[in-house]
Structure 1
């Protein structure tokens, strides 16, 4: 829980200081987008090597080492004296984030496999909570005039202390049985399907992060004070869904939880699109967050259980699809919105959630019921 919390809080530190970096280097919106793309690009490029590295050194050691590198990379972003050095620093930050992400999720899969009840959703809830806490702390420190580098250094110190401090309590990964040809073919099919659903799920999540405020202002015609509430409603729904998700997974199974979650998300986004009143839109975005909350935890757990594949490698492959969805989703929706309207653009999210509810959960059922020995 501590690792997931500091990961979310550290990533929020970067988010809080995006305007700081834009102002420091006098960046245009287009160049700033390039800088933001460097983080995602670094993470996507690193996923393959990271998965193999975590499988080789073990998730416990990988989480500890990558946490330290992640901390250093956080400081480097705010310490760069010129833009030419900032881009490599952002790529390194994205790569370090990918390594920390895979290491802690592979360790989480080991912890869940060692317990009678699921825990993955609650751990991802701690990531969401860390993100909210990191954003709130960053805003407070900015208002108090704390220098950005001092803020980044403090957050990095916390991440390093936690990464080292929890090491004695982390578990050794379970042994991976050498795969048969049948297991290998089964794993390949499963990873493609889980990756596709992770891509579609994160298209919706990315859309909410990037377009919810715009939708509140331009379509729902919300008052100025309400505009940021759309993002808050989605984030709050996601946090609640994750902290309650493990109980649902234990009672309903992962397959039924995934299908039900997708239907909740579909109803939520449909409500916002069909009834663009500020209050109805907020309710729809909250339901969207509630439904999307447990998708990634379920996909990661399912990948980690596939026989004959190291959990870290499987998680990294699914995570790569998820990152691509998070990156490309808002761009796709922006293209549709430019050609028609934002309501049609967010209709893409309704289609992705509807497909997961109607077909994806059914197709994935054989893989969601696997238990690693």
Structure 2
């Protein structure tokens, strides 16, 4: 179990590093093909589109081949498509590569989350939030590597892709077998009931990720336009939210072990609501930074709990249920910033933040009921 835990941590780490590396490569892609912002957005949409279009099939495929083999195969594809991005000779080839990159990322995410649920189920203490924290730490490492002087985009992609490939090939033997977790999922008549439960979980995950995506994309704008922050402090908004997310996930397992998953979910969502409401109520630079940190601290542990609950839904394999919830979450992450922007356009960004706070309060009040039996 110790080996499986470390192996799964490595998978989360390289996943975060790989995805962050794509983010760092975006400016060089724009410059190389001389893209406008609108055309560049199509390239970014290709990653999300590849993930969303294949998420359901990825879940079924992983249920058939097993999460350990799924991790290895999708990890190899994930690594090679990352390496190919800075080598794409034409833009249409790049878009095709990004579609495959998104597909590999989706499969890797699902298989990784199945393993995380298996590891948690085999341990006496919670571990899910810590595993998700490794994704954040990997993202920080992948981003920081891009700041190394003299390191070209190809070299950056090559280093991270090599790490992802090595992890995918070397840790398979430490992965846990799915059957030990999924045998209970085949009970008669449980399929339809399980799918209804997954839909409810997916809807709550959509709301949670809409809030998270909105904070990531709008925090800096809020700091600049609403809190009237000096330019030197604007970047601290994103850093405050990200730091809160990392801190929340690093401490989430200890909190869940002490007070239980249901209370952790309620208190996490309530903390997020208070943080966002504080930022909206006191639009001053330091108050906004404090509010964003608090909101990140609260939002951090929502998705780990939802994925854990999804893996334990009866009547469905863990891979299929996690894939279904993850699809809702991806859509929420994409649409959240758009919805916030729409409200801001017609009302104000402060009103949008109040709306996000109300959504988080709703999750705190009512989100525990669907997951009560599984956490």
TM-score (norm 2): 0.95
Contact kept? 1:16, 1:139, Cα under 8 Å: no
Determine if contact 1:12/1:131 at 8 Å carries over to the other structure: yes
Q: Of the candidates 332, 335, 357, which is equivalent to residue 350 of structure 1?
A: 357
Q: Determine if contact 1:176/1:308 at 8 Å carries over to the other structure.
A: no
1:27 aligned onto 2:32:
no
**8 Å contact kept, 1:337–1:343:** yes
Q: Name the counterpart of 2:278.
A: 271
Conservation of the 8 A alpha-carbon contact between 2:145 and 2:156: no
Describe the superposition over 1:200-251 as per-residue Cα deviations: whole angstroms up to 9, x where unpaired: 0001111121111111111111111111111111111111110111111112
Deviation of 1:365 after TM superposition, in Å, equals 4.2
Corresponding residue number in structure 2 for 1:250: 257
Q: Which residue of 2 aligns with 1:152?
A: 157
Alignment of 1:110-259 (within 5 A): 110-140=118-148, 144-173=149-178, 174=180, 175-177=182-184, 178-181=186-189, 183-259=190-266
What residue number does 1:93 align with? 101
Equivalent residue pairs, number: 364
Instruction: State the partner residue of 1:364.
Output: 370
Are the counterparts in 1 of residues 192 and 315 from structure 2 also a CA contact under 8 Å? Answer: no
Give the conservation status (yes or no) of the 8 Å contact 1:6–1:158: yes
Aligned equivalents of 1:332, 1:252: Cα separation in 2: 34
Give matches, 1:296-315, under 5 Å.
296-315=303-322
Alignment partners' CA distance in 2, 1:318 and 1:180:
22
Q: Distance in 1 between matches of 2:204 and 2:80?
A: 33
Give the unaligned 5+ runs of structure 2: 1-8
TM normalised by structure 1 equals 0.95
Moved more, 229-238 or 75-84: 75-84
Deviation at 1:351, TM superposition (A): 2.2
Q: Which residue of 2 aligns with 1:43?
A: 51
| Cα RMSD, aligned residues only | 1.2
- Whether the 8 Å CA contact 1:221–1:277 is kept in 2: the answer is yes
CA deviation string 1:254-290 (max 9, x = no partner): 1111111000000000000000111110110001110
Contact 1:125 1:239 in 2 (8 A): yes
Q: 2:298 aligns with which of 291, 300, 306?
A: 291
Q: Distance in 1 between matches of 2:315 and 2:327?
A: 20
The partner residue of 1:317 within 314, 324, 329 is 324
Question: Distance between the aligned counterparts of 2:354 and 2:140, measured in 1?
Answer: 27
Distance of 2:347 and 2:29 partners within structure 1: 33
Which runs of 5 or more structure 1 residues have no equivalent in the other structure?
none
